[in-house]
Structure 1
Amino acid sequence: MKYFFIPGCLVMLMMAACSPSSKTNKEYRKQAKEYARILQEYPVRDSAGLNYAGDWVGTTNFSMRRPNFVVIHHTAQNSCEQTLKTFTIPRTQVSAHYVICKDGTVHHMLNDLLRAHHAGVSKWGNNADLNSSSVGIEIDNNGVDSFSNQQMMSLLVLLGRLKRAYNIPTANFIGHADIAPGRKVDPNRTFPWQRLAEQGYGYWYDTTGVQVPADFNPVQALRIIGYTIQKPESAIASFKLHFVPSDSSIVITEEERKILFSLQKKYE
């Protein structure tokens, strides 16, 4: 095997040893080591800058935080390469655990047990810090196009692994628009949520034979499912984006009341 030298890196012929990720991988390792150093620190200095060394008794019963949600996004960018660059520039302060390209390639960008910056200001049920409790998956998509079959096949494999690894409940596979109604609309209307639900990643409805009670409150059903109802019209829009993508109105039809009633029973 022949080698040749380029300032800054040794390159094997026919191999891109000086890949664009080399620098960011180095920064990742540096930051991970710094966090590891802090975790191993003794005497312990807490976030308030106080030293409690005299009162410190190290417990033997602890573990890493584990994700309990998966939040799915579209990148709203024009290529996987553009997204990878965006997520490796410090000034952007945005990231995800995984990025899935149009050809199905999956880039794992952050350890699942670490906190990515993908959810932003968001809420689902009583959880107001999704970044701290979720895995973020970004799918390469400009926000309008449909998702490729290669992407969906890779996504389903990844979701299966995450569900098994962390025992993530079926109800906790959600979209960015679900947790940030009125602020986010991803993944877009072409995303096949029903296909995911059929594989056990999120719930879907069945309105066969459904009789909606006269006192049924559709807005409260949205709350039970997980949506924040501070702005009901935004919650309705996000609900429809996920479950009734063909309807972009904020009026709940009789059929959609049945859908909500069916879903409420699953999430209760």
Structure 2
Amino acid sequence: MNFETILIDKKEAIATITINRPQKLNALNKTTLQELHTALKTLEIDSNIQVIIITGSGEKAFVAGADIAEFANFSANEGHNLARKGQEIVFNFIENLTKPVIAAVNGFALGGGLELAMACHFRIVSDNAKMGLPEVSLGVIPGYGGTQRLPQLVGKGKAMELIMTAGMISAEEAKALGLVNHVTSQEELLSFTQKIAEKIIRNSPLAIAAAIKAVNANFDVDKNGFEVEIEAFGNCFGTPDFVEGTTAFLEKRKPNFPGFK
């Protein structure tokens, strides 16, 4: 599969998607969003892949934002469509993917870049990373879920401050706020992220998919998270992963989960 703006590397059960527009600091444009959707959709149905990592090319930026030149002259209606389509095909799509998606943030994650990282299930960043939502300095607001996910991660008050000031925060500040899980050196970022991915793939893919669904339900006003958890918990009992996991435990051996295969 050939792409214009992204690269895909598969290593055993881990797939790494690299946004590859270094001349634009990996800014998101329509092509990148569509290619991300295609890649993620393909990897989700690939039974050999259990974890997906998203990162940026080079050492300066994960994603420095959206490609402003592409929408600077948009009308209000075009702006609505831009946000709606982007959320549907990439940001919400990532959040609800049945496989874990980890953001490996290797530099600037601004605007759409931070929104992309926040859509992932969790974030690991290099110590040179800078994060922020500078949209109000351009006369617009975050449109790819930033006003929703940032308060979920850092709280309403701090999210309001970060959005209103259009300021950037450092990797350590982001960790202190709970926006990111870990901070590493630039050199260790991908290897560290891969080690966490390796821990994940030891566990049941079907149970992980159910856990993602249950956790996400807590943030959906139209759903009762406890009820979703009860249903997902019960459904696990009917899976081959549950049979293998409990059998392996009783036999005192490591499980070999069939997962989605």
Same fold (TM over 0.5): no
Structure with the higher fraction of residues in strand conformation: 2
Structure with the higher fraction of residues in helix conformation: 2
